[in-house]
Structure 1
Amino acid sequence: MIFKTKRNLIIFSFVVLASGWGGVLLDGLLKEQTEGDTLGMGVWLVIPLVTVLLLRLFAGDGWKDAGFHPRLKSKLKWYVVALFIFPMVTAIVLLAGSLAGWIDLSGFRAKPSFSGVFLGLLFGQFIKNIFEEAVWRGYLTSKLVQLQLKDWLIYGIAGFIWGAWHIPYYLVFLPASDMYSILPVDKVTFAAIAIVNMMCWSILFVELFRVAGSIWPCIIMHSVEDALINPLVIDGYIAVAAGKEWIISPIAGMLASLLYVGAGLIIRKIRVRKSSPAGLDLIV
């Protein structure tokens, strides 16, 4: 069982990390495609899910650990947590940034209602993230947990592979204008910062998946994140002072990342206490 899990994880990691570069090569053969919406980008997005399906169907992984059972009745509070973590952290970051004079909130007055934008994006992001979370939490995280690795290794491996999968996106597929609206740096630096950022987020996503025993709270949390923080910055609802993005940006800022790490560790503490004899903490 352990050998099979390790073998399949190696296959998964290799194929997933190569998928984006295969898409880049494909786009190099095709001309006159729309920036940010190319066939190669489609390949990059689809291959991880196809890989998981093939491994579960034909390589002995099965479906029992996929996390599709919603467990809504017994885990309802974690659905509530999933809905509000990103809005709460974002509100703290915006308040801190505004008080420090590093974030300008005037865009909320000049643009259409942000709630309409958020709700308009939410359903599409929810559908997209069913497939993403089936890969990153329902498969990758689930298999790492089965190997009984220390928690910090699970966070690090899951976060790094999740982040490294995005490298072709950051270096090639992502329009430069969108990148500069988040962090005005070169693409390599942007990719490195983004990977570190996702490794921080990984703690929160891994722990929510483990404590809920389901991918559905993670799907909800991921969808709220996509519909909330990206349009805030990219669509100009807020403006972050030049040179302060790495500190206070709700997408890639250090403050937000630390808050997500803290939230993840709090959830971990709750999970460990519930799973320990007599409620005692375990060092894992």
Structure 2
Amino acid sequence: MTQVLLLHGNGGGRTRFLPLLELYQQRQAPFTLHLPALPGFDGRPWPSGAADAWEPMLKALQAVVAQQPGADWVLYGHGVGGSLLLEWASRGWALPGQLQWEPKKVVLHGIIGASLEHRLFPKMMKPRLARTIMQHLIAWPLLRPVWERRLFQSPSQIPEEVRRQFFRDYAQCAAFPIFFDLITPSWYRQVQQSLSKAHFHFIWGSHERVVAARYLKYWQEDFPNARFEVVAGWDHFPMLDEPQAFYDYLSEWITGPSYD
């Protein structure tokens, strides 16, 4: 059976995939979903003393895949979750014990990297204090209605508890500020040079507001062998806004033919 690794974005956690998991549990899907427990997310602490800040997160991914390295694996990364997959790919999809494997498919959804030098937000987040303030503002209950209008297309269609936990996840995310040190223009140039021939599948929403679809052109220039798709009507969180459409899209992509 195909194994599917799902990675959420920064400030997130398991909450972002709850509607998807509910649909998955209602069906007899020909694949198995895995949500790795990343350090620094879902209230887990960030491990101190790591010389390589990518390493704790990569170990969490490796631990999942190492259980079935011979299976057909497809990987989905959303936001900085996709950037984490780029880092892993640049290291040759390394697994412990020199196990050999390679994912069957990789989809990168609204991810961070090529647009870093063209967007204001990453530049604003360079000071540590700015990251702390932003994290508190996103998690502050009084501002929740403002953020819901900014991040979701139809907030009232998302279960109240899911919305509430979505913002609590930010408050509990010890890894939130760390990614602004890891995902930089110099980091992106390094991984892009080693992966420019890769056959990744990039997707964006036509109504994307977090990392607008207009930035897709930079990825297209840097990954000429990749596939690119703009999904009509999607914003940054279709897994919450349109869980049925997102589930159907993901299922078709997982079970569809491979491409080189």
Q: Same fold (TM over 0.5)?
A: no
Structure that is richer in strand per residue = 2
TM normalised by structure 2 equals 0.28
**TM-score, normalised via structure 1 length:** 0.26
